[in-house]
């Protein structure tokens, strides 16, 4: 079940919402969690008989977590209102371990630098004591131009 705070923060919705809850949030950082249920549709094809969470979806959960951080800043006046988050760069993604059905991942995102309307962030993903992924990325806040993006 998705936390209402997540639904209010970003425009993403199931089936393309990969954050269940906000665990902690402070100045320039946020921690979220997602439990990967065995009945998720992507496990049927990735990989049959030996399912694991696609790395691209782990990255997407990082990007959505970063967007939640930025949209929270927009609501407090620290970034422009009337904007939507848009991923503009991915770099240095390093995958260390697989995530299996039933595991809960923790996504810790830190804001490293603000450059105009672009925000450089670093994401770290863990599952229990296991390191899963590190990634750097940039999210820009752009004007919401159509009703579906608001």
What is the model's pLDDT at position 144?
81
**R_g over Cα of the chain:** 15
DSSP labels, the chain: ---HHHHHH-S--TTS----EEEEEETTEEEEEEE--TT-GGGGTSSTTS----HHHHHHHHHHHHHHHHHHHHHTTSS-SSEEEEEEEEEEEEE-S---TT-EEEEEEEEEEEETTEEEEEEEEEETTEEEEEEEEEEEEEE--SGGG-
> How many angstroms separate the CA atoms of 150 and 146, rounded?
7
pLDDT at 122 over 70: yes
Phi and psi, residue 72, nearest 5°: -65, -40
pLDDT tens digits for 126-150? 999 999 999 999 999 998 875 454 4
Catalytic (active-site) positions: 46
pLDDT tens digits for 12-56? 999 999 999 999 999 999 999 999 999 999 999 999 999 999 999
Residues β-bridged to residue 130: 127
Q: What angle do CA 147, 33, 149 make, to 5 degrees?
A: 5
pLDDT tens digits for 46-86? 999 999 999 999 999 999 999 999 988 655 555 566 888 99
What is the model's pLDDT at position 146?
55
Q: What is the mean pLDDT of the chain?
A: 91
Task: Name 116's Cβ contacts closer than 8 Å, sequence gap at least 6.
Answer: none
- pTM score, two decimals? 0.90
What is the model's pLDDT at position 72?
81
Task: Give the closest residue to 62 by CA, choosing from 29, 102, 103, 27.
Answer: 29
All structural domains of the chain, each given as residue ranges with its CATH number in brackets, are 4-149 (3.10.129.10)
What is the arithmetic mean of pLDDT over 79-94? 88
């Amino acid at each position: 079940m998705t936390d209402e705070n997540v639904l209010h923060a970003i425009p993403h919705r199931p089936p393309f919402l990969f954050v269940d809850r906000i665990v902690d949030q402070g100045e320039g950082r946020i921690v979220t969690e997602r439990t990967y249920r065995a009945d998720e549709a992507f496990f049927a094809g990735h990989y049959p008989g030996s399912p694991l969470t696609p790395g691209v979806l782990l990255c997407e959960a990082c990007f959505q977590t970063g967007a939640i951080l930025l949209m929270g800043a927009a609501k407090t006046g620290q970034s422009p209102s009337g904007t939507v988050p848009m991923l503009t760069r991915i770099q240095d993604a390093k995958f260390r371990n697989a995530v299996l059905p039933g595991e809960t991942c923790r996504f810790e995102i830190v804001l490293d630098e603000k450059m105009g309307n672009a925000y450089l962030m670093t994401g770290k993903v863990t599952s229990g004591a296991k390191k899963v992924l590190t990634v750097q990325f940039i999210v820009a806040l752009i004007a919401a131009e159509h009703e579906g993006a608001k």
